Amino acid sequence: MQTSTSSFEFNLVAAGFKSVDVQPDSKIKRSYIKGDRRGTKNGWYVLNTNLSHFWGGYGSHKTGERHSWSALHDGVLSLPRSEPSQKRAMPSIEAIWGKGIIPDPKHQYLVTKRVDGKGLRQLNRQLLVPYRNIDGILAAVGTIKPDGKKRFLPGSILSGSFMLLGEISDRVYICEGYATGASIYQALQTTTVICGSAGNLVPVANQIRQKFSRLEMIFMADDDQDSEINHGVIAAEKATGLVGGIVVSPSDFFVGGVHE
């Protein structure tokens, strides 16, 4: 049991959870997540067992991000039955995505990050970021406000879904945030995968590796060196341990640039 609970806890830590008490008791627990306002407990997690198998899930009530986990795969499962199914959730996010228009190049976030908004749409003052599963089906939509605040639309299922810039060939750069990914693509004109969070690096890497066995993967890990736990590097190193590839820090890649 210790191996399973430790593996689940590792995923929580990589996603920014702090002070977690992981027990397979089927109880939904709350936790602070890195980046949230101090004193809040927007994170939730739960671990279940039937003595022969461990499974659970975690996410954020603030952003709507959700992940499911299984000891059999140490990765993505379908969501628990108590959660809304992807089939029922998709019309909502698809409808909102469908209302989006080409983003204003003078949008404050795009100007601040020095990116052109490739692949995004805009609805009112919010940028919309599409995340699709390995089969190309829209699974989640993130929003970015002019000041950079990010959320996920209700019904979004981020685990294993990603935003793709370019077409997958022989090499791909994998990162967390849109601005980092867009900066990579603008600089190198090479395939870039945007995962949306550190906790989604491993699920996405697994999905891509299963379909592209010989693909070279370069993980641009957000280096949270000023934090108590370096979530970005931890997640990227775990991904390379599972699927291969190398880890590079965006701070080494972008000299004097702006990303995140």
Q: Structurally, how many domains does the chain consist of?
A: 2
Q: Is pLDDT of 204 > 70?
A: yes
Instruction: Say yes or no: 49 and 121 in one domain.
Output: no
**Same domain? 117 vs 195:** yes
Give the mean pLDDT of 148-165.
90
Average per-residue pLDDT in the chain? 82
Across 33-38, average pLDDT:
85
The residue to which tokens 């089906």 are assigned: 137
Q: What six digits make up the tokens of 168?
A: 């997958």
Q: Is residue 81 part of a domain?
A: no
- pLDDT of 23 reads 84
Structural domain includes residue 76: no
The answer to whether residue 78 sits within a structural domain is no
Give, in degrees to the nearest 5, the angle at Cα 92 between 89 and 95.
145
Among the candidates 40, 70, 100, a domain finishes at 70
Residue written as tokens 């997540």?
33
Asked whether residue 172 falls in the same domain as residue 241, the answer is yes
Q: Which residues contact 206 (CB under 8 A, 6 or more apart)?
A: 73, 75, 76, 160, 242, 243
Q: Quick one: what percent of the chain has pLDDT higher than 70?
A: 83
Residue 224 and residue 121 share a domain: yes
pLDDT band at 219, cuts 50/70/90? Answer: very high
* Residue 77 domain flag: no
Domain boundary among 21, 43, 70: 70
Residue 11: C-alpha distances to residues 35, 65, 87 (Å): 17, 14, 26
Give the pLDDT band (50/70/90) at residue 64.
Answer: confident
Same domain, residue pair 213 and 128: yes
pLDDT category of residue 127 using cuts at 50, 70 and 90: very high
Residue 80 lies in a domain: no
Q: Does any domain span residue 192?
A: yes
Q: Domain check: are 92 and 175 in the same one?
A: yes
What domain range includes position 112?
86-253
Instruction: Check whether 151 has a pLDDT greater than 60.
Output: yes
- In-domain check, residue 211: yes
pLDDT confidence of residue 90 = 41
- Domain's final residue, options 38, 70, 102: 70
What is the pLDDT, as a whole number, of residue 15?
80
How far apart (Å, rounded) are the C-alpha atoms in residues 121 and 252?
Answer: 30
Q: Name residues whose C-beta falls within 8 Å of residue 182's C-beta, 6 or more positions apart in sequence.
A: 113, 115, 116, 117, 118, 119, 165, 192
How much of the chain, in percent, has pLDDT values that exceed 90?
39
pLDDT number for residue 107: 95
- Per-residue pLDDT tens digits for 175-199: 999 999 999 999 988 999 999 988 8
- In this structure, are 101 and 220 located in the same domain? yes
Per-residue pLDDT band at 256 (split at 50, 70, 90)? very low
